[in-house]
């Protein structure tokens, strides 16, 4: 990857959920450069989560290309695509998607299992996980706890640590602050930005909350990057 290869590049991407005529995503062009922090704003139902699924390669566009770090992810086999995602993308879901019965430590280390290069950047996984927990303001004894026993705000920090470990070049967060009160939200964002900056990671965060805009380099509106789609009457 050259230094000026965008970390994310979508060209003429079209996606329809099967059987859903009333919704369609058409994105002519969306590019994110390395180390940018971008807030993606859009109303509920505008296709933000669908777009993130396309970026992660969990769904494939009907036409067009989604390139991450210069690789068109649709060109990869399913197995290689899973590994590519684990290597390049740190994901924070709206619902955190932690393994509730596994320990906090095991949750944080999970992506490294599928990503040897990312794993290689973490010489001592347990120490790194512990440091991330500290930086993210989790109590020292949380690391051994079952993830499901933590508070919502704490679980969200675990999800952030899991996304950040091994410093993937692209961090994607789908409405990660929607379950938090204002004070916890601000703390969480600060921690996420500090970590992203420390590793030169690109941050793409999705929200319907325009008040978050001041924190980011750039704000992208779903309405501005999508072609208007209307179902046939
Ligand atoms: P947002 O994240 O902006 O709220 P989504 O991407 O979740 O929007 O949803 C956009 C549209 O796609 C909605 O109409 C939604 O019902 C539809 N959709 C989302 N996920 C699926 C799915 N797995 N199967 C079918 N339709 C879906
Ligand atoms: Mg969504």
Does 116 map to a domain?
yes
Which pLDDT belongs to residue 232? 45
Across 2-13, b (16+ Cβ under 10 Å) vs e yields eeeebbbbbbeb
Ligand 1: residues whose CB is within 6 Å?
Answer: 17, 20, 23, 42, 44-50
Which pLDDT belongs to residue 205? 96
Query: Which atom of ligand 1 is nearest the CA belonging to 206?
Result: 2
pTM, two decimal places: 0.92
Which pLDDT belongs to residue 1? 52
Nearest CA to ligand 1 atom 22: 17
- 39 alpha carbon to ligand 1 midpoint, in Å? 19
Query: Which atom of ligand 1 is nearest the CA belonging to 53?
Result: 6
Does 11 map to a domain?
no
pLDDT digits (tens, 9 = 90+) for 187-232: 888 888 998 999 899 999 999 889 999 999 999 999 999 986 544 4
Does 15 map to a domain?
no
∠ Cα 104 82 157 (to 5°)? 25
> CA-to-CA distance for 139 and 122, rounded, in angstroms?
22
Full residue range of the structural domain in which residue 184 is found: 34-59+78-221
CA distances 80 to 52, 75, 121, 217, Å, are: 19, 10, 20, 32
Pairing label, strands 25-32, 202-207: unpaired
Q: Alpha-carbon Rg of the chain, whole angstroms?
A: 18
Residue 207 burial (10 A CB sphere; 0-12, 13-18, 19+): buried
Residues in CB range of 189: below 8 A, 6 or more apart: 177, 212, 215
| 13, 23, 42, 222: residue to mutate for ligand 1 pocket, most atoms within 8 A of CB | 23
Does 186 map to a domain?
yes
Q: Greatest CA span in the chain, whole angstroms?
A: 59
For the domain that residue 112 is a member of, what is the CATH number?
3.40.50.300
Which pLDDT belongs to residue 152? 87
Backbone angles phi, psi at 186, to 5 degrees: -65, -45
Q: Which residues of the chain have pLDDT under 50?
A: 230-233
Query: Which atom of ligand 1 is nearest the CA belonging to 43?
Result: 3
Structure tokens at 101: 């019965």
Does 48 map to a domain?
yes
Could you give the number of structural domains in the chain? 1
Does 54 map to a domain?
yes
């Amino acid at each position: 990857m050259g230094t000026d290869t965008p970390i994310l590049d979508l060209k003429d991407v079209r996606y329809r959920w099967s059987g859903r005529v009333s919704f369609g995503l058409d994105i002519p062009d969306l590019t994110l450069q390395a180390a940018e922090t971008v807030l993606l704003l859009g109303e509920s139902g505008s296709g933000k989560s669908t777009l993130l699924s396309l970026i992660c390669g969990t769904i494939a566009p009907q036409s067009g290309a989604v390139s991450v770090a210069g690789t068109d992810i649709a060109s990869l086999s399913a197995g290689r695509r899973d590994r590519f995602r684990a290597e390049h993308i740190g994901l924070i879901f709206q619902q955190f998607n932690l393994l509730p019965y596994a320990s906090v430590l095991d949750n944080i280390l999970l992506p490294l299992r599928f990503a040897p290069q990312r794993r290689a950047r973490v010489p001592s996984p347990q120490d790194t996980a512990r440091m991330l927990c500290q930086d993210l303001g989790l109590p020292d004894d949380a690391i051994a706890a079952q993830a499901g026993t933590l508070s919502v705000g704490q679980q969200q920090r675990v999800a952030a640590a899991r996304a950040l470990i091994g410093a993937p070049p692209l961090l994607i967060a789908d409405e990660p602050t929607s379950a938090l009160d204002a004070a916890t939200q601000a703390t969480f964002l600060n921690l996420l930005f500090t970590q992203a900056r420390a590793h030169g990671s690109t941050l793409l965060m999705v929200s319907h909350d325009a008040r978050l805009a001041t924190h980011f380099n750039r704000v992208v509106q779903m309405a501005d990057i999508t072609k208007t789609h209307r179902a046939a009457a």
